[in-house]
């Protein structure tokens, strides 16, 4: 008998000790951002979805443990089904890295990690042809630009009884998953290859 995906996810989140971090992130998102009525998504799950002027907008989440740090991330994306264009509109990341030594430095590290993750998830790719590297400079190898970065919010989870662990790298782990999950919930297209370019999204939507 197939397991219920939501129950399976809850069981693994609980077992990994991520529930507290994920709960804080979800509470923040629901309180500050999503005062809308949940509707069924193309993935047949109930989550927050609404229609904007040009695309389906959807929020989703991902969580991980890296270097002993628990990280939960939620993102809001807008996807244009006809062009494959995806716009990440908002990212919130809650992180439990034990005792917080430098709050401002920790937030800055998290923001930088999220920004780097957006690059590998959406644009950064080295292409080859006939044994030659095609992308030799930043005119074609596109790194994140301030002009298309989303609003980024970070949450430091107070856990002074646990020694400090990593805080700079952990948030990057979730970025591919959280964006892919949001795209899937928005338009029902599952992306399995990074970066999730407009062409790949458009093809995934076509395949259904």
Q: Of the listed 87, 111, 124, 169, which one is catalytic?
A: 169
Residue found by looking up tokens 């939620």 in the block: 74
Instruction: Determine whether 169 is an active site residue.
Output: yes
CB-CB contact of 115 with 99 (8 Å): no
Q: How many CB atoms lie within 10 A of CB 149?
A: 14
**Shortest CA distance to 84 belongs to which of 196, 3, 6, 201?**
201
Torsion of the alpha carbons at 138, 144, 146 and 148, rounded to the nearest 10: 110
Kindly write down the DSSP assignment for every residue of 132-198, as one continuous string. Answer: EES--STTTSPPP-GGG--EEEEEEPP-TTS-----SSTTHHHHHHHHHHHHHHHHS----SSS--H
Give the C-alpha separation, 154 to 205, whole Å.
31
The SS3 call for residue 78 is strand
Which residues are known catalytic residues?
A: 169
């Amino acid at each position: 008998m197939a397991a219920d995906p939501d129950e399976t996810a809850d069981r693994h989140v609980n077992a990994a000790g991520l529930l507290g971090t994920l709960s804080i992130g979800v509470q923040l998102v629901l309180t500050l951002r999503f005062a809308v009525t949940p509707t069924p998504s193309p993935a047949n799950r109930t989550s927050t979805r609404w229609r904007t002027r040009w695309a389906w907008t959807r929020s989703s989440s991902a969580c991980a443990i890296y270097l002993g740090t628990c990280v939960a991330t939620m993102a809001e994306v807008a996807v244009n089904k006809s062009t494959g264009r995806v716009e990440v509109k908002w990212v919130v990341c809650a992180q439990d890295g034990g005792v917080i030594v430098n709050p401002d430095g920790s937030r800055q590290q998290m923001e930088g990690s999220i920004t780097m993750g957006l690059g590998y998830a959406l644009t950064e790719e080295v292409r080859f042809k006939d044994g030659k590297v095609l992308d030799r400079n930043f005119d074609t190898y596109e790194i994140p630009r301030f002009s298309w970065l989303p609003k980024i919010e970070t949450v430091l989870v107070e856990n002074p009884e646990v020694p400090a662990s990593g805080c700079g790298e952990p948030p990057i782990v979730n970025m591919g998953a959280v964006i892919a999950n949001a795209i899937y919930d928005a338009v029902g297209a599952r992306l399995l290859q990074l970066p999730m370019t407009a062409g790949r999204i458009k093809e995934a939507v076509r395949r259904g």
